[in-house]
Structure formats: structure tokens, C-alpha cells
Amino acid sequence: MQLGRYEILEPIGLGASSTVFKARDTLIGRIVAIKTLQAGLNDNAWRERFMSEARIVGQLSHPRIVKLHDMGIDETSGAPYLVMEYVVGETLEKHLAAKKPELQQVYSWGAALARALAYAHEQGIIHGDIKPANIMINQDGRVMLTDFGIARFAAHVTQAGGLRGTPAYLSPEQIEGTPTDGRSDIFSLGIVLYQLATGQRPFHSDSVEAVCAQILKAKITPPTKVNPMLPRAFDGIVERCLARNPENRYANGEILSTELEAVARQPHPPARPKPVLNRSITNALRYAGAAAALVLALSLPIAARFYRHNLQLPPVPVATYAAPKPPADLPLWRDTQAAAALTFNTTAEELPVRPLVQPRPVRTIKRKLEAAKPNPTVADAGADGAPSASAAAKSAEQPAAAGIPMLIEISAQSSDGTVAVFADHQMIFSTPLASVTETPGEPFHAVCTLIPGEHQLSVALYKADNSLRAEKQGLAELHHGDNNLLAIRVVKHTKILLLRGTGLEVTWPNGAGDSQSEHGPKKFSAQAVEVAP
């Protein structure tokens, strides 16, 4: 079969208004693609319009646009035809039917097509039928726009003759018959981008009328809802492309390509492979889960009874409490905010009564902590706890032993609840976790003064409703010049059963309790500590 100087080799495509053949140019021996109009569309008005637009399309020269080499009219049938560059490859429509492209490929192809449209629009040419069937993927994996055969010269835009293009990829102005420009191609390219990234079109139905109605009125599902691996920025790009008002779309393809390239440069988390399980493994897991649920249901009453009888913990302190009465010669506890103003001779009646929400972070000063002289009363105590005669004689000549400041350092991952510290069964400090987390990344500090020697310490964590969540107990010895640091760390947990110690990590000062931190004791320089004003 001969068409002018071209020898027809085989048909390679059939559309609604044209047929594409593979042919050879007998004059120069080049393989080309020839597009001819279908019968019934070869009237004079259509042919003149087709030839006029072909002359303009022939001026396009872009690496992402299939070149137009020649045009003519079949002398036998009178049908016009276009002679185009032959691309070795397949259409994007066939490619999508076989596999789904990678995300980086989606961004790269979308940016290349947008830049090709920007070039054509600058020449005053719009495509008018952007769809996967009119996008070629060559043997190098590059995309190329083809079929500008029904593109219209921008200065002569008209909708005479009805819809031109594929309904599922039409813009609202093409459906309504209003004037179109390059932003109509941007709308159609947005539909192609959505399909590339998600594997489905944003507008789809069984009838042309329903599809057109969706394009004009329906709200699309964001691409990230269909494909969670997409970044949020891609939703904004597609939403702007598919804006029903052309004024709200990208003004040109160059801006669209720039935003797609910016998204491509952003790091994205790798996709998690989905586990493949056969039916037998699935059934085994289902039965195992049912058995575990049964065992858990049967063990809950036993666990609750064990917790109630064996893990009974002290009640939560009330929101406002009075300071415990200390010994006459040395206060056991003092308010951390007013500690700088109190002396060791302060009596119990002079100690302030503070609400529970009181402590503030303290600062350390740069002077070294001077070790106090040993307390003869403590050092020479008898077996029954009473001081010996020699100790009593010495105590008459020497002043009482100085109190030892114990630094309390609290780090918390949660701001819900209250943490309290007990020494020898008396509460010496408490603070809501909300005050601990006021300065992110920095631990909370407070100071409490205790008598030198051995103390039974307890740290309790209470919930927001004042019910006990966890407790840690330990033995500590406080000495002048030692590292007297009580480090408390409140961590989040996701355990089903509330076990002893859950949520608390405690490092005791100079002692080993039942809850040493897994990283060992924290180091704290031997410096004196003063309360922030």
C-alpha cells in the first residue's frame, strides 16, 4: 500500500478519529509514523482546519514532542494525513496496564511533560487531548508528547463541532464549551499525574455523562489517601492542577515542572514490604491469637488479686499539704522555692505550707561544696540508737552536724501526673510533671536537705486522677562531699498489664536499690546547689 511517497508497512494504532501506520519514506529511506483521518471526517472544512493546524504544529521542535515531518492528502480517499517521527517504544497507556511506575519516575515524567507543554504554549499551540494514549515512552525510558493533530492554534480557539478529546481527561471548560487555553492542558496533565501516582483516575464512571458531571462538581480523593507513600506536597500539586477555575491552576507548565522537581529532591521513607502469608500460616496465627486472648482473660483476675495484695503502694498526697515536722536541730524538708531564705535553725512552725504545684528548676553555683565535719552524735551512736557518753560530751562542745543537700534531677517524657519523693516514710518533695516538661530537653532540678547517713527513699508516680501508677524504693547513704544525686526518669510505656516499676527509672544516691538505671549512676560534680530566685 502506497500513500504518496510513503510505503505503508503495518497499522500500529487506531483512535476515535484517526489511524496510525508504520511506514517508510521511499525518498530517503526513513521509518516514519503516518496518521490518517477516519472516513467521514474528510469534508473540506475539517481538512482545511486539519492542514492549517498541521502547518503550525510542524514548527514545534522539542526533545519531548514527537516531530511532524510532512503532511498531505490521500489522492484516493481524499483524507488528510500527517507524517510524524517514529518512536520505538510504547504508549503510557500500555505501560500503566503492565506495571506501576516508581514515585521518582512519576515526578520525572510529570516535570518533562509539563516543560514540553510550556514550550508548546509559548508558541501559541495547545494540545487539547492530553491522555496516556498520546504519551509515548521511548526505548530510553523518556516520555514524549504526540498527537498534536487536534491541537488548536490559540488565536483561533473554538468549540464548534462538539467535544474534542477523551472525556475522562477533559477540562471543565472543554465540557462546558467555554474558551480554552494552555491551562486546559494543565488540568488534563493533573489527571495523568494522579493516575501515574495512584494507579487510578480521579474521575471514572461507566458513562460519559457521569464522568463529565464528576469533573464539573465532584471532589477528588487526595492522592496520599490512595497511595500513602506519596508526600503531602504532591496533594497540593494535583489539587492546583485540577482546580475547576482556570485562574487557580498553574499559570504555565514551567512552574508545575519546578514544583515536581522540588518534591523529587525531598527524601521519602522506603516502602515497607507486605508480608506474604499462606492460608495455613494465617489460620495458625488466628488460633494462636484466640488462645492468647483466652489465657489473658483467665489471668486478669489472678493478676489483679496479686497486685492488690502484694503491690499495695502508699496513697497519693493531696493537692495541698503541710510540711512534715522535722527534728528540732535540723529540718527534714524545706520548700525548694524558699530554700535560699531558710537556715538550718528554722523551726517547724516557721516552715511554709505550699501547694503541690510549687517547684521550679534550680541553678548550680560554681563554688565547690565544702565537706562538713562529721557529726559526733551520729558517728558515736550506740547500738540502741542513743548517743554514748563520749558522744554526749563532745556534742556539748561541738555544733550540730550540717545538713546535706540532696539534688533531685527529673527527666520526663510525659507531662501527665505527679512525682513524689519520700524519705524514711515521710514525703520530702513532690511536683507535677507539667512543670518538669516546661523546658524541653533540660532536666528539672530541686534540692532537699537531709540528715547525713542512711535513708530509706521511695519515689512514687501518680496519675492525673491521683491514683498510683508506679513506685520505686531504694536505700541511700548521704555524706558530705559525695555525689548525692537522686536521678528520676519518667518514661512512656505501652504494656497491657501495669507491672511494678513500669514508667519509672531511678538512680539512688550512693546506694543500690531495686531500680538502678540500666546506664548506671549519673555523674554529678561536687558543687554546692542554690535555689533559683
Question: Which positions are catalytic?
Answer: 129
C-beta atoms surrounding 401 within 10 Å: 22
Measured CA to CA, the distance from residue 397 to residue 308 in angstroms comes to 52
| Maximum C-alpha span of the chain | 135
How far is Cα 430 from Cα 436, in angstroms, rounded to an integer? 11
- Euclidean distance between CA atoms 10 and 23, whole angstroms: 7
**What SS3 state is found at 101?**
coil
- Helix-helix angle 182-198:232-241, to 10 degrees: 140
Measured between alpha carbons, how far is 387 from 124 in angstroms, rounded to an integer?
Answer: 106
CA angle 305/310/316 to nearest 5° reads: 100
Residues in contact with 2: Cβ distance below 8 Å, sequence separation at least 6, in sequence order: 8
* List of residues 6+ apart from 530 with CB closer than 8 A: 339, 340, 362, 363, 364, 365, 447
The answer to whether the CB of 87 falls within 8 A of the CB of 66 is yes
Residue 439 buriedness (CB in 10 A; 0-12 / 13-18 / 19+): exposed
In sequence order, the 6+-apart residues with CB closer than 8 A to the CB of 63 are: 142, 144
Spatial distance between the Cα atoms of 257 and 111, rounded to a whole number of angstroms: 4
Helix (H) or strand (E) holding 6: strand 6-14
The sign of the dihedral angle between the CA atoms of 57, 59, 61, 66 is positive
User: CA-to-CA distance for 317 and 236, rounded, in angstroms?
Assistant: 52
- Contact predicate 331/502, CB 8 Å: no
Q: Confirm if 417 and 436 have CB atoms less than 8 A apart.
A: no
**351: exposed, middle or buried (C-beta count within 10 Å: 0-12, 13-18, 19+)?**
buried
Among residues 504, 496, 443, 435, the alpha carbon closest in space to that of 469 is found at: 504
